[in-house]
Amino acid sequence: MTALDALQGPIDEGLIGKPPEDERGTSLWRGAFRRLRRNPSAIIGSVIVIMLVLIALLAPLLAPYEPASSEWIDQVTPASVPGPSPGHPLGLDSFGSDMLTQLIYGARQTLVIGIVSTMIGVIGGAALGVLAGGLGGWWDTGVMRFVDILLSIPSLLLAVSIAAVMGANQWAIMIAIGAAQIPIFARLLRGSMLGQRRQDYVLAASSLGLRHRRIVMGHVLPNSLGPLIVQATLVLATATIEVAALSYLGLGQPDPAVAEWGRMVVKGQDRLQSDPRLTILPGLCMTITALGFTLFGEALREALDPKSRR
């Protein structure tokens, strides 16, 4: 240790400081994971999501009966639907099937529609975003004007317009919900890529003589994905709700044999006064699912945000 070092020692410590033990040498994602584990709402959110996935996967084992069996239809009268009884812990639905079974199978439907439609949105949005943010110039202008046009239609109406063209079927619902999210993902990825393009590592890569395509696909894109992943988690919540809205508008799942929470809510409205259970239970399932994805998504956003990393 030289005299100069001794002089600078304490100042050095104070000014630069050492990174806190747990932040040293960690990647962005590992740091984010650590922050997630400490965040109670992330834990609640992921517990809900994991439960939902388990329920959906294990539906045939968990459900007491066959879905949409209408086995007890003779017990349903125009005036009343049998409520909870020993054989049916949550009662029957208005089609004479077991409510609990329908709710469990509904989780499957929600998860499948949510994941597939979010993937459609992410892939479509990422393709447009990479075109705009990676190529720049005319591509950027053209793609972003197109995105502006799509954004000028409220996303529910956009989904409705697409569903109306495709007719009522499973794929139409997923494509409609997913495609309505494409402009949001595209704009998000483009913004994130433009921010990354000004970073030093891009300059370094291009001065090393890397080709433009390799810089964009190999460096800029992977570093820009954070906001996209957060948004995807939040869109899973939106998708759950939009499925129900499409059902309400008569553009939902047409096959009555497929249990779907949105349609259950809509069908329950006829008996709202005499039997609110028929609306409340599926509504509650949707709300809890949306809550799980939202809590997890918000926590992920916070964990990846450099401002909250202290």
Partner 1 sequence: MLRFVARRILLMIPVLFGLMVLLFVWVRALPGDPARALLGEKATPASIASVNEQYGFDQPLIQQFLTYTSQLLQGNFGNSPRTGEPVLETFIERFPATMELAIAALIFATVVGIPLGYWAAKRAGGWMDTFAVGTSLAGVVIPVFVLAYFLKLVFAVGLPGPLHALAVLPSSGRQNPRIDATHITNFYVLDGLLTREWDAAWDASVHLILPAIALGSIPLAIIVRMTRASVIDVLSEDYVRTANAKGLAQSTITRRHVLRNALLPVITVIGLQTGALLAGAVLTESVFAINGIGSYLFQAISTLDFVVLQGFILYIAVIYAVVNLMVDLAYGVIDPRLRTR
Closer to partner 1 by CB, 196 or 252: give it. 252
Compare residues 55 and 285 and give the one whose CB is closer to partner 1: 285
What is the smallest separation between the CB atom of 60 and partner 1, expressed in angstroms? 28
Nearer to partner 1, 33 or 146 (CB): 146
Q: Which is nearer to partner 1, 132 or 290 (CB)?
A: 290
Residue 138, Cβ density class (10 Å: 0-12 exposed, 13-18 middle, ≥19 buried): exposed
Nearer to partner 1, 85 or 269 (CB): 269
Distance CA 169, CA 183 (A): 23
What are the residues binding partner 1 (CB under 8 A)? 145-146, 148-149, 152-157, 160-161, 164-167, 237, 241, 244-245, 248-251, 265, 269, 272-273, 276, 279-280, 283, 286-287, 290-291, 294-295
Transcribe 22-45 into DSSP letters.
GGTT--HHHHHHHHHHH-HHHHHH
Rounded Cα–Cα distance for residues 132 and 110 (Å): 32
Q: Which of 139, 248 has the CB closer to partner 1?
A: 248
Nearest approach in angstroms of CB 48 to partner 1 is 11
CB 295 within 8 A of CB 51: no
Q: How many CB atoms lie within 10 A of CB 253?
A: 21
